[in-house]
Amino acid sequence: MHPHGAIGPLVAALDIGGTKIAGALVDTEGRPVARSLRPTPAGRDGETVMQAVAEVVAELRAAPQWPAAVAVGIGSAGPVDALHGTVSPVNVPGWRDFPLVPRVGEAAGGLPVVLTGDGVAMTAAEHWQGAARGYDNALCMVVSTGVGGGLVLGGALLPGPTGNAGHIGHISVDLDGDPCPCGSRGCVERIASGPNIARRAVESGWLPPAGTEPTAAAVAESARAGDPLAMASFDRAAQALAAGIAATATLVEINVAVIGGGVAGAGPVLFDPLRDHLTRYATLSFAAGVDVVPAKLGTDAGLVGAAAAAAQVLGLAGFVAG
């Protein structure tokens, strides 16, 4: 037993994004029992970024609970390549095909390491402890600076061969739409991400409240106050999300779509038009009636999910949704 009273193994979890590198030891009830945090030196070379990761791992190794750790789970901004253990996050330019899995394994004293995309990690968390709990077929999405996602099908997390399955942000929902940085056109992310909600509002003539930056949160505030330009930008984002969710429901038959990330914090300004648009896109009997619900786990979803995803891949008892 460790000092927090939960029995059983721990998984060391890393949540790696363009802004921060978070680490925790996660117990079989999804609770972080020790934590570490570093800012991501995103503009620096790959070794400098790895140094920050290594510091997080070293801090976890210094925790009194470390001897109970049996594996390391990593949820990283993508794309990731779980087959080769490498990452090439769009927003960490110093990492291209960076061998993160062997390097973390080394830093963690040889524990087994499992890598997944951050959308898959969030999905594992919400299925195990959050809003997708009890559903056998679910899509979970993160709508923030980018738009990511993951799938639970037949009761099990579906990471896909490289750990990127469910990446709904790069489904094209506007055939001749704006070019997306990924190389395609009219992607969900190009329409529904926070920065794109703000960009579109500004282009339409919306002005942020005096003294505030033109962010998606500021657009949401204006939309709540009834500003038609702000409402229109959220409506367009909701339409893109609805089209992506409907495509997913038609393809694999999901029962619930869980939406997290900063943009989901807008609440009804996003969810009301989203549910409305979904009735127009998801029309076939087997695709209609998908529940759209906000995520429950907040900022810890990446850590909790990285642990859950690693536990599922490695078959560790106690960590997998039942």
pLDDT at 7: 59
pLDDT at 223: 97
Same domain for 257 and 186, yes or no, is yes
CATH code of the domain in which 46 resides: 3.30.420.40
Mean pLDDT of 203-225: 94
Tens digits of residue pLDDT in 189-207 = 999 999 999 999 999 999 9
Same domain for 241 and 309, yes or no, is no
The answer as to whether 125 is a domain residue is no
Domains in the chain, number: 2
Tens digits of residue pLDDT in 129-160 = 999 999 999 999 999 888 999 999 999 999 99
Domain range for 218: 131-295
Same domain for 168 and 106, yes or no, is no
pLDDT at 1: 42
Same domain for 271 and 175, yes or no, is yes
3-class DSSP string for the chain: CCCCCCCCCEEEEEEECCCEEEEEEECCCCCEEEEEEEECCCCCCHHHHHHHHHHHHHHHHCCCCHHHEEEEEEEECCCEECCCCEECCCCCCCCCCECHHHHHHHHCCCCCEEEEEHHHHHHHHHHHHCCCCCCCCEEEEEECCCEEEEEEECCEEECCCCCCCCCHHHCECCCCCCECCCCCECEHHHHHCHHHHHHHHHHCCCCCCCCCCCCHHHHHHHHHCCCHHHHHHHHHHHHHHHHHHHHHHHHHCCCEEEEECHHHHHCHHHHHHHHHHHHHHCCCCCCCCCEEEECCCHHHHHHHHHHHHHHHHHCCCCCCCC
